[in-house]
Amino acid sequence: MTATDLTRLGIAEALDGLARGAFSARELATAHLEAMAAARNLNAYITETPEQALAMADASDARRAKGEALPLDGIPVAVKDLFCTKGVLTTAGSRILENFVPPYESTVTAKLWAAGAVMLGKTNMDEFAMGSSNLTSYYGPVVSPWRAKDDPRPRVPGGSSGGSAAAVAAAIAMGSLGTDTGGSIRQPASFSGIVGLKPTYGRCSRWGAVAFASSLDQAGPFARSVRDAAMLLRAIAGFDPQDSTSVDCPVPDYAAGLDGDVRGLRIGVPAEYRPAELPEDIAALWDQGIAWLRDAGAEIVDISLPHTTCALPAYYIIAPAEASSNLARYDGVRYGLRVPADELTEMYEATRGAGFGAEVRRRVLIGTYVLSAGYYDAYYNKARRVRALIARDFAQAFQRVDAILTPTAPSDAFPLDAPTDDPIRMYLNDVFTVPASMAGLPGISVPAGLSRAGLPLGLQVLGRPFDEPTVLQVAQALERAAGFDPLGALAPALAPAK
């Protein structure tokens, strides 16, 4: 097997090959490290960790030789640079953490390593996970491996987990971890032609993940198949006493029951996700997805989620409010950047002025404003009341349906040089992903087809709290019907014709 073949394997196939002795974890890691070095133009990684990767791979091979292989033993993965990794630079895509080396490990990464996975490195991201393009990273934009048919301009991978998505799409990681606050796993998965899963709020521990908006942040996997995503989710999910909102309920073996059988399931199709300005190719793909599920034996049910259009404006109060509070800790005193000044307040202001990029500054200022005296009730409490209505819409819908099908994003991947002067235009990227975030629901994006321009488009499946098994089941039915090649960016000649 060539090194290229090794990087193109799925997780289940790779585990099979490792078990048969067809190749070693070290060979698998080496193949990925070489591919990473050859793909540095994508800027998907902020930090590559070859020494750790090889040491972990050797330990994995030793375990396997003793017959003690773990569930993900030897699988090379990438980790969003938002997760604290002990002894490895963790920047959150920000200048203010350009020198931060955590003395501890986040819970979800610790769980991955405890399952035998091998760390390839830390991936690029929008600064503090604030963005939908990866353009706000202090460490430069990530370039998607995908190109449009008749337009050579480099494309964004989406964001904020842009590096994690691009790495999996470019076969320089077999799977990866991201975080999703308002769509930061699902939207880049859609743009990059891969699977991205945001679990139910509370399913995965937030401990050791740099906080953006604590009532929304959730860790989740990227992979090139629904089954692989299910395997990664099982490894990272579970109760953690160190996260006060972690939920103590059993973690199922998500992959074991997965067969894509949707017969008898009721699939909701919300009218509000079809605004007049929805691009035709996206509307057509959604219709195709509905037809696929109907053909697979599901019952399609028209539903209404009346407060859908309120979700994005409510999000842009709640998320910045929480961010302004969470980011108060970056003060140049205990870790991270310090810009010296003669006086303490001046030092804070100089440090934070230089350390935060424009989008982070914008959101912290908005959050500070909506929480300030005299505005708290009009903005923050109003948004939290609207949030309750959004959650109620979903709860009512889920009395009638088992899952909901929508497009993941309102566009395909835009060029790196697309205008970004209007923050609202960028925020609209998350219009279909934010509502479920507000309600804390699980959601997945499955690559389902190509846009008119020849770029990937995803469909989103949403489920009831902690019903990831149904979400995965519906996702696999779509995956099977779509037959999309998640490595299509690497072999344009083999990509589905359009």
Partner 1 sequence: MSLDKDMVRRIAHLARIRVADDELEPVARDLERILGFVEQLNAVDTEGVEPMTSAVAMTLRQRPDVVTDGDRREEVLANAPDRAGAFFAVPTVVE
Residues 417-476 that bind partner 1 (CB under 8 A): 422-424, 427, 438-440, 465
Write the DSSP string, 46-101: EEE-HHHHHHHHHHHHHHHHTT---TTTT-EEEEETTB-BTTB---TT-GGGTT--
State which of positions 240-259 bind partner 1 (CB under 8 A): 241, 244-245, 247
Residues forming the active site:
80, 160, 184
391 makes contact with partner 1 (CB under 8 A): yes
Q: CB nearer to partner 1: give 122 or 147.
A: 122
Task: Indicate whether 395 belongs to the interface with partner 1 (CB under 8 A).
Answer: no
Quote the least distance from Cβ 310 to partner 1, whole Å: 6
Residue nearer to partner 1 on the CB measure, 300 or 350: 350
Which window, 29-37, 39-47, 136-144, 307-315, contacts partner 1 (CB under 8 A)? Answer: 307-315
**Residue 496 in the binding site for partner 1 (CB under 8 A):** no
Sheet holding 456-463, edge to edge: 45-48, 118-123, 76-80, 175-180, 218-223, 195-198, 443-450, 456-463, 403-407, 266-270, 299-303
Q: Which stretch binds partner 1 (CB under 8 A): 77-85, 133-141, 309-317, 475-483?
A: 309-317
Q: Which tokens sit at 362?
A: 């914008």
Separation of alpha carbons 325 and 400, rounded Å: 38
User: CB of 481 within 8 A of CB of 295?
Assistant: yes
Sign of the torsion formed by the C-alpha atoms of 233, 236, 239 and 244? negative
Q: Count residues contacting partner 1 (CB under 8 A)?
A: 73
Near partner 1 by CB under 8 A: residue from 1, 19, 99, 400: 99
Comparing CB distances to partner 1, the nearer of 215 and 470 is: 215
H or E segment at 381?
none
C-alpha dihedral over 122, 485, 35, 154, to 10 degrees? Answer: -70
Judged by beta carbon, residue 84 or residue 148, the one nearer partner 1 is 84
Distance of closest approach, residue 81 Cβ to partner 1, in angstroms: 16
* Minimum gap (Å) between residue 135 Cβ and partner 1: 15
Nearest 5°: the CA angle 382, 383, 389 is 95
Exposure string of 39-64, with b = 16+ CB inside 10 Å and e = fewer, is beebbbbbbbbbebbbebbebbbebb
Q: Does 275 bind partner 1 (CB under 8 A)?
A: no
User: What one-character DSSP code corresponds to residue 151?
Assistant: B
Q: Which of 83, 201, 207, 414 touches partner 1 by CB under 8 A?
A: 201
Residues in the chain: 498
Residue window 25-64: x/- pattern of binding to partner 1, with contact defined by CB under 8 A: ----------------------------------------
Residue 104 interacting with partner 1 (CB under 8 A): yes
Tell the smallest beta-carbon distance from residue 111 to partner 1 (Å).
19
Instruction: Rule CB under 8 A: say whether 336 interacts with partner 1.
Output: yes
Should residue 188 be labelled a site residue for partner 1 when binding is judged by CB under 8 A?
no
* Residue 76 beta carbon to partner 1: minimum distance, rounded to whole angstroms: 28
Q: Which CB atom, from 62 or from 365, has the smaller least distance to partner 1?
A: 365
Q: Which stretch binds partner 1 (CB under 8 A): 14-22, 23-31, 346-354, 450-458?
A: 346-354
What DSSP line would sit under 93-150, residue for residue?
T-GGGTT---SS--HHHHHHHHTT-EEEEEE--SGGG--SSSTT-TT-PPPPS--BTT
Q: Does 236 bind partner 1 (CB under 8 A)?
A: no
Give the residue with the Cβ less far from partner 1, 256 or 344: 344
Cβ pair 308, 386 in contact under 8 A: no
Which amino acid type is present at position 409? A
Contact 297, 330 (CB under 8 A): no
* Residue 155: partners with Cβ closer than 8 Å, 6 or more residues away: 143, 144, 146, 147, 148, 191, 413, 414, 415, 416, 455
**Footprint of partner 1 on residues 349-388 (CB under 8 A)?**
349-350, 352-354, 356, 361-362, 364-366, 368-369, 372, 379, 381-388
Judged by CB under 8 A, which stretch of 106-114, 263-271, 284-292, 313-321 contacts partner 1?
313-321
Q: Which is nearer to partner 1, 303 or 317 (CB)?
A: 317
